[in-house]
Structure 1
């Protein structure tokens, strides 16, 4: 199975009202804004969507809202992952995935499995999943790095494992994946600051955080990168360097929610243990947006 997830995907936030409830109106607006400005696919219920503090019922309601707003215009990817393999399999088996092009499944966190443990976890996921699978390696959050050897072993052994979202912020690891990957297997950047570099090196694009706030210019940058237009693409990359650094300087998604609030797309409310961006960070974000040429 060839990787169908190309270009700019977004790791969509879960907007909340000031009272802390899911803001479905704002969520609909963010989906529409991104579809109208060139995004290629939407990833639901990832880290940026605050998946760990969303209830099962809220997750179902968020899915329903996005499916309705999207109206089959873009491919949708659903986050289903964790460090309890049996629970991950149960969620896959009990979720209606008919509206999804694939799932994004994070490498098991906290437990710190061996590479063989990671392989066996994803083998079980593959055998239970009726749709395409994007592996998700984010060692800064999981405390466990999925090695390129393990990723490529999975890619070669299981046809429905079509790509990896690599978010180790490690250029050498990206290049090892790109050098040795089988034909059709996708290497997707999970690092906004390295997304263009990965695209130019032969990657398949990005699942972005900042992209959902500035989708028109960001998706143009990635398209230029995929076309090998390095000079034009890097002009846009340089424009994004400051804001990309800012949104991750305190926590994600507080930073991106501060940007989305400044753009009047949603509130900046997050759920504990996260807290909203500091006033200092908000001032820097507002100053950046005032001069950004979209």
Structure 2
């Protein structure tokens, strides 16, 4: 499972001014990240505005990334939801031949019990022909997947290989790291906690800010994996302000403002999201000036 160690990025979906997908910018962002140290790419996650892209656009986005990647890094495709049958239908109807794993979010809105979460992922595991990274993000789902449920799934199903944990809860991370099977990966979904989690035994991060600053972020993660805390934290401290800023209003408006400032993509988002405010964009530009 070393292919999912280090820095993965939750890649955005760039939009033109008419809010159509900017496939040229998307392909360029893939190249930019791979050339600067990103270890793998996650397609159509929350940061990719998966809830406001069409099924056809999702297919085209996936194919654009596959073509730009040219097999250089592993790819993870977001396939999740709170309708278990529909998630399974999408898995079964999607060409996964160029995809290394799916990222599947814990069911949102419905607020299932822990047994309901377990049965949801059990059904997905039995239907999925490739590896699965579960995604726990209680701030968005309004439902926390407990460490006990995560570890039960990890033990019971061989193709459930990892969890992207994004509860911003250090105690929960540490329980997972202490009790997990040796071959199960705990991946940080919190950019601000990622280094500390790696130093405690985590496998890496699926990052938002990392796609804008892949050289710095991936170096920090590699130093962390090597146990070089002092050198890694020197980079962490440099990235602290920009990492905080991108989440002040909404994600991905913040990261898109960073990418716009770096001339990598426009800051357009689809409703109900709105662009970062002028004030935030100015703060982001100032924060970028101190990063080497």
Q: TM-score normalised by the shorter chain: which range applies?
A: over 0.9
Where in structure 1 do 4 or more consecutive aligned residues deviate above 3 Å?
Answer: none
Aligned to 1:123: 122
Q: Secondary structure at the match of 2:46?
A: coil
2:262 paired with 1:243: no
Aligned to 2:15: 16
Cα shift readout 1:49-78 (whole Å, capped 9, x = no counterpart): 000000000000001100000011010000
Cα shift readout 1:143-171 (whole Å, capped 9, x = no counterpart): 00000000000000000000000000000
2:227 paired with 1:201: no
Aligned to 2:28: 29
Contact 2:239 2:291 in 1 (8 A): no
Distance 2:63 2:133 in 1: 21
Distance 1:37 1:56 in 2: 30
Distance 1:289 1:139 in 2: 30
Aligned to 1:290: 289
Aligned to 2:268: 269
User: TM-score, with normalisation over the residues of structure 2?
Assistant: 0.99
Aligned to 1:219: 218
User: TM-score, with normalisation over the residues of structure 1?
Assistant: 0.99
Distance 2:289 2:148 in 1: 45
Cα shift readout 1:102-133 (whole Å, capped 9, x = no counterpart): 00000000000000000000000000001110
Q: Displacement of 1:4 after TM fit?
A: 3.7
Aligned to 2:47: 48
Distance 1:132 1:270 in 2: 31
Aligned to 2:97: 98
Contact 1:34 1:212 in 2 (8 A): yes
Distance 1:249 1:266 in 2: 20
Contact 1:261 1:267 in 2 (8 A): yes
Cα shift readout 1:235-282 (whole Å, capped 9, x = no counterpart): 111111101100000000000000000000010000000000000000
Give the root-mean-square deviation of aligned CA atoms: 0.6
Q: Displacement of 1:3 after TM fit?
A: 6.2
Q: Secondary structure at the match of 2:76?
A: strand
Structure 1, unmatched stretches of 5+, are: none
Aligned to 2:180: 181
Contact 2:11 2:48 in 1 (8 A): yes
Distance 1:128 1:226 in 2: 33
